[in-house]
Amino acid sequence: MKRIYLDYNATTPVEPAVLEAMLPYFSGEFGNASSIHTFGQRARAAVETGREQVAALLNARPQEIVFTSGGTESDNHAIFGVFSAASHSLTAAEPAPHIITSLIEHEAVLNTCQALEKQGVAVTYLPVDRAGLIDPEAVRQAIRPETILITLMHANNELGTVQPLAEIGRVAAEADVYFHTDAVQSVGKTPVDVKALQLDLLSLSGHKFYAPKGVGALFIKGGTRLRQFLYGGHHQRGFRPGTENVPGIVGLGKAAELARVSLQSDAARIAALRDLLEQGLLARVPDALANAASAPRTPNTCNITFPGIEGEALIIALDLKGLACSTGAACSSGAVEPSHVLTAIGLSAPDARATIRFSLGRHTSEAEIAAALDIVPAAVAQLRQLSPTYRREVSA
């Protein structure tokens, strides 16, 4: 059975050219980038090349890039770092700091904000519309004198919705409030320019755009007041102590370089395949609904509700047929909870549980999409035959 992978938002395969660039740094070029001898100097040069490559992808300066273990660490560092720097200078008489975020953020942001709430920080969770978009005017209205940070994702991991960051960036700049974005799902898929978006902080993760797992980066605009998140040596200007992951950084840099070259052509080809899949499923599956289809989206993501089925059951059925995709539901204490993103855009709990995310990538082919258009409708129809809920809905 030839398997079809349509879960690129979860992770991507390491690109062959990325692996090739990394391999020497596992063996012959094994030096510690902090050592001053030749072995260390070669490793340091490789790290700095990677830094330049990542900076070029974001239109940043190399010295503004700090390498991390991935998006979660970068998000934590950005949010805790801004809070720590701001709270360090507060007097007891001043109000607690305030942070603005949204209801559809990744758990790396939401759980960090919730942890800060336990320390007395006030957090505003902005709603989104049916397409998952945040209103820049709502951001403006939420700003208080004590607001220290706006943290809003660039592209949503489930819907693909791309937020109007340029407009929100202007709002943040006018209010002189730090602006952070979790760009894990947008970097490498759609253009990201930290200057045009007026960003102070940006998080990214390598394994979302064909680099290995376990490496990411945090963009920190020059002059941003950010306290370090970890303590140890003086690596990376003190922002992120610890011996650098040289092979991972080399891979991340190479992936960034490849993305710069192929971003436009990849996006056009993948978007055409995404639309072919989405339109085909809507035509072949009765009552199917494409979520956020009217919003600006990353070119690779479609999110479809199939009323009358359980998403987890459909994922298993599709996997047995050789097709991998995902559902936004989360398993907590044995109970499947509906996605917080899907309920935030107004889906009922049953519809949220009946929703599947298909995410395409650089290696997705038209033949795979054609196969998916046979596999998915058949699996949905089979599950609906077993669903008393769907039969009742149809008969009503």
pLDDT above 50: residue 12:
yes
Residue by residue, DSSP assigns 204-234 as EEGGGTTSPTT-EEEEE-TT-----SS-SS-
Q: What's the mean pLDDT in 158-180?
A: 98
Residue 330: phi and psi, rounded to 5, are -120, 140
Task: For residues 81 and 257, give the distance between their C-alpha atoms in angstroms, rounded to a whole number.
Answer: 29
Mean pLDDT score across all residues of the chain: 93
pLDDT above 90: residue 50:
yes
What confidence tier does 335 reach under pLDDT thresholds 50, 70, 90? low
What confidence tier does 89 reach under pLDDT thresholds 50, 70, 90? low
Task: Read off the pLDDT of residues 285-305 as tens digits, 9 standing for 90 and up.
Answer: 999 999 999 999 999 999 999
Q: What's the mean pLDDT in 369-391?
A: 91
Q: What's the mean pLDDT in 153-173?
A: 98
pLDDT above 50: residue 218:
yes
Cβ-based neighbours of 72, under 8 Å, separated by 6 or more: 108
What confidence tier does 332 reach under pLDDT thresholds 50, 70, 90? very low
123's tokens: 């957090």
User: Is 331 an annotated catalytic residue?
Assistant: yes
Task: For residues 22 and 238, give the distance between their C-alpha atoms in angstroms, rounded to a whole number.
Answer: 25
Measured at the CA of 236, the angle between CA 230 and CA 242, to 5 degrees, comes to 50
Q: What's the mean pLDDT in 186-201?
A: 98
Q: Do the beta carbons of residue 4 and residue 325 sit within 8 Å?
A: no
Most confident of 1-10, 84-93, 334-343: 1-10
pLDDT at 313: 95
Task: Read off the pLDDT of residues 265-274 as tens digits, 9 standing for 90 and up.
Answer: 999 999 999 9
pLDDT at 329: 57
Q: Do the beta carbons of residue 178 and residue 149 sit within 8 Å?
A: yes
Task: For residues 109 and 113, give the distance between their C-alpha atoms in angstroms, rounded to a whole number.
Answer: 6
pLDDT at 95: 83
What confidence tier does 173 reach under pLDDT thresholds 50, 70, 90? very high
Which one from 113, 302, 325, 331 is the annotated catalytic residue? Answer: 331
* Domains of the chain and any CATH numbers: 4-10+263-395 (3.90.1150.10), 16-259 (3.40.640.10)
pLDDT above 80: residue 241:
no
CA 195 vs CA 103, 173, 256, 370: distances in Å: 26, 12, 18, 40
Helix (H, G, I), strand (E, B) or coil at 67: strand
What confidence tier does 24 reach under pLDDT thresholds 50, 70, 90? very high
pLDDT above 80: residue 233:
no
Task: For residues 188 and 204, give the distance between their C-alpha atoms in angstroms, rounded to a whole number.
Answer: 10
pLDDT above 60: residue 392:
no
pLDDT above 90: residue 153:
yes
